[in-house]
Amino acid sequence: MVGGYTDPNFEKVVAENPDIVFLDGGTGEHVTMADKFRKSGINCVVLYNAVTTDDLLKNLWICASALGFPERGNDYITDVSEAINNICRIADLQDKKVFVALGVSDSPYTAGSGTYVTNMLESLGARNIFANDSNSWFMASKETVYERQPDIIIIIHDAEQITSQREYRTLLSHFNDLWKRTPAYANGEVYVFSGDAASLLSRAGARLPESLELLAKIMDPESFINEDPTDVVGVKYYNDSYNDPDNGYLRYVKAQGLLEWQRE
């Protein structure tokens, strides 16, 4: 271990004698540490703070080039872009209001404007109810959530996996009374990402198309069924098995061969 993500241990990283260190431009400690690494003779690359799809694609190319595989990086970016375009072409969220919560506490962390999650929602035609409140993640009160009356609630559940309808209903039973008085709750438009699926929405990465397809299909199943009547998700929660080839959740990602890319 070389410390935490936001506070890496400089001495331990140096002791490992890495050939290259990749740093997150959106994390202040990483930017500060880049100068220290360079002064110590360690090659490092500071990536963009990946908030938008364009930022992420730039980072993918930078990583591939820094590792000596620019052509493969270009090929992968082409496949990622094609998958994203296909998913966004089909999805039609019609400006639905979405609330994204890290858990079900009365004042959970939620995504503001300068976040990966907000950018994904907007690319699908939806609207984050807190897009204008902050440029990062922050704590939202239950009263404010109620006032903004979300049409859809997305729960990023970092605790135990949700693997059954019973567990899903139990989680929703912990909602406060104000959340239960939103259109999302009344219309059954509450969706849960747990286990590996939860990590997809936590930070931007090469699995962006997977995040996008899961979000699109769980929030707007009708559009995908209209495109292909056999493309039925039929669940309100995702977990570690989200990319199981038998469940068919990731048809557009798989069509571009992106899962095979990741296994190489």
pLDDT tens track for 159-215 = 899 999 999 999 999 999 999 999 999 999 999 999 999 988 877 777 889 999 999
Residue 89, Cβ density class (10 Å: 0-12 exposed, 13-18 middle, ≥19 buried): exposed
Residue 95, Cβ density class (10 Å: 0-12 exposed, 13-18 middle, ≥19 buried): exposed
* Dist CA 108 CA 178 (whole Å): 14
Residues (pLDDT < 50) of the chain are 263
pLDDT at 76: 87
How far from 83 is each of 3, 80, 88, 137, CA to CA, in Å? 35, 5, 9, 27
Tokens (6 digits) for 228: 């292909």
Q: Which residues, 6+ apart, have CB-to-CB distance to 35 below 8 Å?
A: none
Q: Which residues, 6+ apart, have CB-to-CB distance to 11 below 8 Å?
A: none
pLDDT at 205: 77
Residue 121: name the closest of 76, 151, 82, 162 by CA: 151
pLDDT at 91: 96
pLDDT at 103: 95
* Dist CA 216 CA 121 (whole Å): 9
The torsion of the CA quartet 240, 246, 249, 254, rounded to 10 degrees, works out to 100
Name the H helices within 67-178: 70-90, 116-123, 142-148, 165-172
Note whether 193 and 187 are within 8 A (CB): no
How far from 159 is each of 52, 63, 70, 81, 245, CA to CA, in Å? 27, 31, 38, 32, 25
For each of the domains in the chain, give its residue range(s) and CATH number, in order of start: 10-89 (3.40.50.1980), 92-263 (3.40.50.1980)
The CA R_g of the chain, rounded to the nearest whole Å, is: 20
pLDDT at 260: 56
Kind plus residue range of the DSSP H or E element containing 97 = strand 97-102
* Dist CA 188 CA 182 (whole Å): 10
